[in-house]
Amino acid sequence: MQPNNLTKTVLLGMSRSELEQFVAARGIEKYRADQLFKGMYAQALENFDGLTTLSKKMRNELQQTAQIRTFKTLQATKSQKDGTTKFLWELSDGKTIESVIIYEGRRVTFCISSQVGCALDCKFCATGKMGFLRNLTSGEIVEQVLLMKERAERPPTNIVFMGMGEPLLNLRNVLKASEIIADPAGLSFARKKITISTSGVIPGIKKMADINAPWSLAISLNAVFEEKRREIMPVSIQYPLHELMKAIEYYVRRTGKRVTFEYILIGGVNDGEADAKRIIKMTARIPCKINLIPCNSTDPDFPPPTGEQIVRFNNYLLDNRKTSTVRMRKGWEIQAACGQLYSENRGKAGAKISFKSTNSIGKLPHKKET
């Protein structure tokens, strides 16, 4: 449960049962685990000093062998236009990640990361250019939420795994962190307001279906013709569109939930009437909503569509009885918008999956949580 460079045990990210094992190994009463759980998550304590339900001696002993938080806040950048705030965190091993708070009317969304970088190399996404460095631990995922809650103007209404990384390639830690965030004795956040987004990793979608995960599921679709999708999202080589749609139908059947399709509109690439017609046909049997997002890439090869084309595309979906919403740019000028998160990290560039054929997938470097 701790990065290798620490001598102290990191408690943040531990479940109740793990905390029970931790206190039992130190000869501490089992019920103290509940006090630690509530202290770390519900009370958001940064250290053991505020845990006054424990004796001073016990707090001092814990302080010698364990710790709660691990992050260092390097930077917070706020948009003067819409209040969007981007945070740069340094992890215990010196690597860095970004998270974002988005304000939209009454809606306050925490956009959190699940990995340092990403291996999937979507061509319009800045994070993909980093490559994959490692998975975040469950504690590092939860710590983003705790720190942003302390700094947000208002409490969050939604938490989305749409920051750095592919959540379904770190599913164990993502699910564990989500349980802590939703636990009534933890952060007590509404389960249906936590959304896990994926670029289309089919095994992860099926896993979420089989365990009937209570979280919402979002799919980054971004193209509805196979050749086009493979060009901008190499993951489609391994997990082609027709197989992805089957997996989504399976998920809907098993869970009874509707899904969200995130569709990045790229000017002249996927914003035509033929694309809109194809979306309608592909999603005909899937209860869903569609979020249209003008492309935020700084790469000139991936320009946003014109305002007129966005309206035309959206109206076509609405006229054909699809639930469709345009998500306008938030935090563009501070590079906090969708697909813009990028953080310089020490050492060599991260790994990327090599998609060589539809029958094989490059091995993703994986570092276990220890």
Taking each helix axis from N to C terminus, what angle separates 307-319 and 273-282, rounded to the nearest 10 degrees? Answer: 30
φ, ψ for residue 29, nearest 5 deg: -55, 145
Beta bridge mates, 107: 104
CA–CA–CA angle 87, 263, 126 (5° rounding) = 40
What is the Cα–Cα distance from 155 to 249, expressed in whole angstroms? 34
Q: Which residues are marked as active site? A: 98, 338
299: which DSSP letter?
A: S
Residue 87 β-bridge partners: 76, 99
Residues 6+ apart with CB under 8 A from 173: 13, 114, 135, 136, 137, 138, 141, 369
Contact 105, 327 (CB under 8 A): no
Q: Which residues, at least 6 apart from 162, have a Cβ–Cβ distance to it below 8 Å? A: 111, 112, 195, 197, 218, 262, 338
